[in-house]
Chain A
Amino acid sequence: MKYALNLSNENRILSATFEKYAPSDAVLVDVLPDGNIADYLYINGEYVYEPIPVVEPEEKPSQLDIVEAQITYTAMMTGTLLEE
């Protein structure tokens, strides 16, 4: 059984289907990599493991953080900042 790869412009594997559903210009392979195929590139007939870096979402300031920042800013501007 063969598989057809759908590759991105950067040769990352986007998805795989079976040969019988493949478009005529599809890249056909005999085996698929284990695990998440989206972690692989397909370059010169070989799989290259290169997971997409996980981008951690920026932590948004809480309402309390915002209020504290405003208080501190006001205190600094008015010269009333308390010394620890």
Chain B
Amino acid sequence: MSNFVKPQSPIYNKATDTYIYPLTTSDQVIMPDGTRFDAKNIGGMKMELLWENATPTSEFAAQKISLDLNPYKFVLIESNLKPGSTQITNNLVSKDDFRQTVLGGFSDGGYYRLAQAYNTGIQFGNGYKYTTSESANASSCVPLKIYGIKE
């Protein structure tokens, strides 16, 4: 592994009793234990940037991002908790198991959005925000980048 650096302090999510690890550079991937390494080469696997949001602070309605994911074993979705936030989530999706994944986290409320990967792209659902009740919020968990990972 290259570019190994000391992990940043995680942000504790009291609601879910989990930690969010801020990603400060798009060239690094953060693992669950907080370590991070070069995003382009993961233990012999190759990581390619397949899509980047050109307007990351705009609202993002439910939609499909068309991509050819056939060559990839995994897909990594990087998303922003809310526009301009430094809280980034990364969801690693295995193509052997194309279940829905939940982009989300907690700040001044809970933010989440469902996504599902297919060989033809990724279908994103509506974004939601939860404070005292749930409401649709197209600014929640806007995807920033999509990577494909292959051997």
A21-B55 contact in complex given A8-B61, A14-B63, A38-B138, C-beta closer than 8 Å: no
A32 within 8 A of B: yes
Check if A18 sits within 8 Å of B59, measured CB to CB: no
- Which residues of chain B (44-65) have a CB below 8 Å from chain A? 49-55, 57-61, 63, 65
Bound CA span A21–B67, Å: 8
A6-B53 contact in complex given A36-B58, A37-B58, C-beta closer than 8 Å: no
Bound CA span A36–B51, Å: 19
Check if A18 sits within 8 Å of B138, measured CB to CB: no
Chain A residues whose CB sits within 8 angstroms of the CB of B63 once the complex forms:
6, 8, 14-15
B135 within 8 A of A: yes
Check if A14 sits within 8 Å of B66, measured CB to CB: no
A: interface residue count bin: 10 to 19
A15-B52 contact in complex given A6-B65, A23-B66, C-beta closer than 8 Å: no
A17-B58 contact in complex given A6-B65, A23-B66, C-beta closer than 8 Å: no
Check if B65 sits within 8 Å of A57, measured CB to CB: no
Check if B50 sits within 8 Å of A32, measured CB to CB: no
Chain A residues whose CB sits within 8 angstroms of the CB of B55 once the complex forms:
15-16, 32, 37
Bound CA span A12–B61, Å: 10
Chain A residues whose CB sits within 8 angstroms of the CB of B67 once the complex forms:
23
The residue that A32 contacts in the complex, of B49, B51, B54, B138, with Cβ under 8 A, is B54
Chain A min CB distance to B75 (Å): 14
The residue that A38 contacts in the complex, of B50, B59, B135, with Cβ under 8 A, is B59
A42 within 8 A of B: no
A47 within 8 A of B: no
Chain B min CB distance to A19 (Å): 10
Query: B-contacting residues of A (Cβ < 8 Å)?
Result: 3, 6, 8, 12, 14-18, 21, 23, 32, 35-38, 57
Query: A-contacting residues of B (Cβ < 8 Å)?
Result: 49-55, 57-61, 63, 65-67, 135, 138
> What 3 A-B pairs are tightest by C-beta distance, nearest first?
A38-B59, A14-B63, A16-B54
